[in-house]
Amino acid sequence: MQQTILPSLDNTLQIDDSVIESFRKNGHALIKNVLQSDEITVYRDVINEAAYKYNTEKREMKDRDTYGKAFLQIMNLWEVDEQVKKFTLAKRFAKIAADLLGVENVRLYHDQALYKEAGGGFTPWHQDQYYWPLDTKNTVTMWMPLMDIIEDMGMLTFASGSQKEGSVKNVAISDESEAELDSYIHKKGYEISRPKTMNAGDASWHYGWTLHSAPGNNSNATREVMTIIYFADGAKVTAPINQDQENDRNRWLGGLEPGLLAASELNPLI
């Protein structure tokens, strides 16, 4: 792909205090127009080009398990594509993450494109931070659609307030997590919340411990979403409590030993 002149994303946005308050109470928040239409148009092309280039899922939908049916997952595009790198390391996004968490600085954990294909299955209830061997609750994921989306395309869905409990179940995203966490959510009486629509360039933000899911994609178009995970600078690596955390320690934290600052070359200060 020919190099494109990309809009700079290093200016910062002022987030209203009410949004920050809502985020900390409910564990999630929607912020409109984080990217303007001209910006998202250019970056959508860049991210799509990279995502489809590096996608490794070649199986037919019928041959995949529940996790595989939920989405195409292409991770750490910033490592392999200089244009996506400008998106992933954007100060505009990182400043919002820091403000929501109430910290001075954040580091990158990893990015991932999450493309839910037409006819793709539901995303089971889960907690992102189940996978992360980090000693802080100050973690946040930005979830940004690259196109206008509606509920039927697989809108992110939250159990509001669930982040306050921390780790609920030591279970990976799966049919098991869907059953166990759905039962837990109903027992706790958490309010289930999701937007009816999101426009390209809007961004949803949620804590690493916020329980969330997504319905299947009942449209005839692939739902294109780009995500970036941040954590508070100063966090340390913890001893993995499951194989997924051990895999993450080696892949996203550069193999750093437990007890060390989570600050490998893969975790730049943004």
Q: What would the pLDDT profile of 165-176 be if each residue is shown by its tens digit? A: 999 999 998 899
Give the pLDDT band of residue 2 (cuts 50, 70, 90).
low
Task: For the chain, give the percent of residues with pLDDT over 70.
Answer: 92
Q: Across the chain, what does the average pLDDT equal? A: 93
User: What distance in Å separates the CA atoms of residue 43 and residue 203, rounded to the nearest whole number?
Assistant: 14
For residue 172, being part of any structural domain is answered with yes
Number of domains in the chain: 1
Q: How far apart are CA 32 and CA 200, in angstroms?
A: 9
Decide if 53 contacts 9 (C-beta within 8 A). no
Residue 109 structural domain: 23-251
**Domain membership flag for residue 95:** yes
First to last CA, the chain: 27
Would residue 263 count as lying in a domain? no
Q: Which residue has the tokens 């966090």?
A: 235
**Which pLDDT tens digit goes with each residue over 90-140?**
999 999 999 999 999 999 999 999 999 898 889 999 999 999 999 999 999
pLDDT of residue 55: 78
Residue 14 within any structural domain of the chain: no
| CATH number of the domain where residue 60 is located | 2.60.120.620
In a domain, 4, yes or no: no
Q: Is residue 197 part of a domain?
A: yes
| pLDDT, average across residues 218-244 | 97
User: Looking at the domain assignment, is residue 245 inside a domain?
Assistant: yes
Percent of the chain with pLDDT over 90: 87
In this structure, is residue 44 part of a structural domain?
Answer: yes
Per-position DSSP letters for 182-244, written without gaps between them: HHHHHHHTPPEE--SEE-TT-EEEEETT--EEE----SSS-EEEEEEEEEETT-BB---SSHH
Record the pTM.
0.93
| Mean pLDDT computed over 17-36 | 98
Confidence band (pLDDT; 50, 70, 90) for 65? Answer: low
